Amino acid sequence: MAEEKGGNDEYYEPLLGITSSNPLISTNSGTIEGVADYRGEKVSIGSNFGGWRSAFLIIGAEFGETIAYYGISSNLISYLTGPLGQSTAAAAANVNAWCGMVWMLPLLGAFVADSYLGRYRTIFFSSVIYVLGLGFLTLSAVLTSLMSPTEYHEVNETSSASPAPFLILLFFLSLYLVAIGKAGFKPCAEAFGADQFDERNPEENSCKSSFFNWWYFGLCVGSSISHVVLTYIQDNISWILGFAIPCICMLLGLFVFLLGTKTYRFSKDENKENPILRIARVYIASARNWRATSTSNEEEGTKMPDNQLRVGADQFKFLDKALIELPNSDQVGSNKHGMSCSVDQVEDAKVVLRLVPIWIVCLTYAVVSAQSSTFFTKQASTMNRRIGQGFQIPPASLLTVNSLSIIIFIPIYDRLFVPLTRLLTRNQSGISMLQRIGIGMFISTLAMALAAVVEKKRLQTAVDFGLIDKPNEIIPISFGWLVPQYVLLGIAEVFAMVGLQEFFYDQVPDKLRSMGLSLYLSIFGIGDFLSSFLIYAIDKSTSGSSQGSWFQDNLNRAHLDYFYWFLAGLSAINLVAYLYVSKFYLYKRVSLIRKTWQQSCCLVLKASCIHILDGIFATNYEKLLPCAFCGVPYRKSVRPTAWQLGSLKLGTTVKDLGNKDNLLPMDYKSVWKAMEECQKLGLTKSIGVSNFSSKKIQELMSTASIPPAVNQVEMNPTWQQKKLREYCQANNILVTAYSTLGAKGTR
């Protein structure tokens, strides 16, 4: 019998992909595209530039910055209600307002980095500003100590008088100078660290995903040190020393960052066009052309080359108006002033716009997250925090429970959760980024419900022991009651916060990575502002009631439990909205892969002529549903067919696709790596081949990390493919058939 059909290389081309310059595939050109060293020279593949060594130096700098930031923020409400003499509601509002600025200003820092200075220089200059802000903050504490009658030591004491107005002004100016420094450092440092890995190299691309976990791991270790050591120093030794140590840590972080200068990879952008203004032009042009109509590219002068595919054409069609060049416009002048846009610009604008609904529905999670550093801390100050005979835990140190739960759970997530879910989803990451974020939101909702129950228990204990009108007395209830809600919020952060970091870094256009991470940070900035607004609005609306305000200075008469139930209900409603929005989200990676396949094939075809086969499996046969490769996340088995996606000679038309002479040689091993990336990114549950012989499968598996799930071949009563079927069965590869009733030449 002749060799099994599909294994006859003299006639059949393996039905798998293209020869590609896919950015998901590592090239063999010898240098890494778009990257330079500190001298401006190209970086060779396998060189000592970038990688984990450089990334860990950047993580080290972030470690110092984390100690500095949380050394200020975690106990800030105690300083405001103590030495500065503010009320609980006013202090909570000021903390939330400052935190809001801390997380909103990175949008400005990212704009400066992506458009003008670059990430390295932005990190350096912002670090200098950061150190200056911390230095002035320490100075304000020194002057407050000298000019105030007593320095604040105990959490439950209150200052007899507020310090002089100029001292308060100096304090807040210093505080917001710290916010400006963090605005440039935070998004750029994380993006710069991720830039040390080449996403075109499969191994380094996998390391990049791990980088975000280790980044957050280092952040949590640094915050734990701040919550334990610095809050103890501030509450029991000196606020001056408690502010001076963060300044020193930030200075050391800057030193560590500068140590790695000669090892870093720097982005080398050949196109000097401002990436943010480049996208802004699309929105301006689409608004300008709002009334314009077009029936074809030629009629309206739409700049869409025949060999360029439209990505996500069904989404945000109104932005396609930016492609229209009006008949009476000057083409050169239009381009100069950005009055007409390319397809790439429009697609980048769509990518950014797709992020907006996700950004909005994540705001409620940020409001929930803001409570741990404000009201949770004030609750802890009224509870029994003693361990043993003499040691008393500072209230802000309970935030360490949150950080420790993250430190413990991240390895569990990587080593246990991901492998187990991978068995169910066949996603290399276990779950997709949006699924990860959604799980975090659900857990945070449970945390708020639990916080309400615990607060009700605390209030009842105060009533039982007659302490309801004694706010400075310690209620005989252990701080351990607060631990579960801190743990739940920590686990929620492992899912939601790390997921948000990776999502907003990965899903923005490549030139806007800093801006993407600043969008992630801005979620928590707006969340803090929303938290301040809710506190203010609820305080005003409830202060006239018979029970009094929910946020009275006397927490024993306040009703934080009502507030927590309100947030739990709001989070539950928001979670439903999130599930609805995420269902329709289109991952950028799909667009990238489709565009790369089109460019590699050099097709003079419409997008509707390019198909993949999305298999729907039945009991003993398979019905194939060809569907346009329009960028929809695939949830079943994906097998590209070479007759549609093979390397075609320029000028090939649809009717010529079945002619072998119109096919060019293909590097199917490289294309398989791209398909593996599809599965790792969660775009498909499985990947397979078509018309592959056992020999071809063996060759493929010599370099593949994921085996084919299916091999589709011609099979009928006169061509039963026994050898191939036995091989596939032995290797757990499902065989599906086409032409089951016979084909031309077989009957």
Give how far the C-alpha of residue 185 lies from the chain's centroid of Cα atoms, to the nearest Å.
17
CA angle 99, 116, 345 (to 5 degrees): 95
* Dist. CA 67–CA 278, nearest whole Å: 37
Question: Distance between the two ends of the chain, CA-based, in angstroms?
Answer: 16
For residue 40, tell me if it sits in a domain: no
What pLDDT was estimated at residue 442? 95
What pLDDT was estimated at residue 215? 84
What number is the average pLDDT over the span 588-600? 52
Q: Mean pLDDT check: name the lowest of 221-225, 392-396, 679-683.
A: 679-683
Q: Mean pLDDT check: name the lowest of 135-144, 256-265, 291-300, 357-366.
A: 291-300
- The domain tally of the chain equals 3
- Crossing angle of helices 343-361 and 275-288, in 10° steps, is 100
Residue 468, pLDDT > 80, answer yes
Binned at pLDDT 50, 70 and 90, residue 18 comes out as: very low
Task: Among 341, 366, 386, identify where a domain stops.
Answer: 341
Residue 580, pLDDT > 90, answer yes
CATH number (domain holding residue 97): 1.20.1250.20
What pLDDT was estimated at residue 133? 92
Most confident of 534-548, 587-601, 659-673: 534-548
**What b/e sequence results for 90-108 when a residue is b if at least 16 CB atoms lie within 10 Å of its CB, and e otherwise?**
bbbbbbbbbbbbbbbbbbe
Long-range contacts, 721-729 (Cβ 8 Å, 24+): 721/4, 721/5, 721/6, 722/4, 723/3, 723/4, 723/694, 724/4, 724/6, 724/7, 724/693, 724/694, 727/694, 727/697, 728/694, 728/697
Q: Give the residues across from 639 on adjacent strands.
A: 613
* Dist. CA 364–CA 318, nearest whole Å: 29
681 with 721, same domain: the answer is yes
695 with 571, same domain: the answer is no
- Cα atoms found within 13 Å of the Cα of residue 692, Cβ hemisphere only: 33
* Range(s) of the domain holding residue 381: 50-268+350-586
What pLDDT was estimated at residue 202? 62
508-538 pLDDT, tens digit per residue, is 887 777 778 788 888 887 887 788 788 888 8
Residue 248, pLDDT > 90, answer yes
317 with 185, same domain: the answer is no
26-50 pLDDT, tens digit per residue, is 344 466 667 777 777 787 776 777 7
Q: Yes or no: say if 345 and 321 are a contact pair by the CB < 8 Å rule.
A: no
486 with 604, same domain: the answer is no
For residue 188, tell me if it sits in a domain: yes
What pLDDT was estimated at residue 207? 72
Residue 51, pLDDT > 70, answer yes
What pLDDT was estimated at residue 161? 58
Residue 496, pLDDT > 80, answer yes
For residue 438, tell me if it sits in a domain: yes
Residue 441, pLDDT > 90, answer yes
* Averaged pLDDT of the chain: 74
For residue 293, tell me if it sits in a domain: yes
285 with 228, same domain: the answer is no
Distances 355 to 303, 348, 360, 637 between C-alpha atoms, Å? 25, 11, 9, 27
* Dist. CA 525–CA 363, nearest whole Å: 9
Binned at pLDDT 50, 70 and 90, residue 153 comes out as: very low
For residue 11, tell me if it sits in a domain: no
Amino acid at 140: S
Phi, psi of 611 (to 5 degrees): -130, 155
445 with 471, same domain: the answer is yes
Helices (H) and strands (E) in the chain, counts: 26, 14
Helix (H, G, I), strand (E, B) or coil at 733: coil
For residue 33, tell me if it sits in a domain: no
| Higher-confidence position of 234 and 14 | 234
| Higher-confidence position of 303 and 98 | 98
What pLDDT was estimated at residue 589? 55
Residue 561, pLDDT > 60, answer yes
For residue 745, tell me if it sits in a domain: no
What number is the average pLDDT over the span 490-508? 88
For residue 634, tell me if it sits in a domain: yes
DSSP-assigned letters across all residues of 630-680: -SPPP-SEEEE-HHHHS-B-TT--GGGTT-GGGBPP--HHHHHHHHHHHHH
Q: Mean pLDDT check: name the lowest of 123-137, 148-162, 395-409, 632-646.
A: 632-646
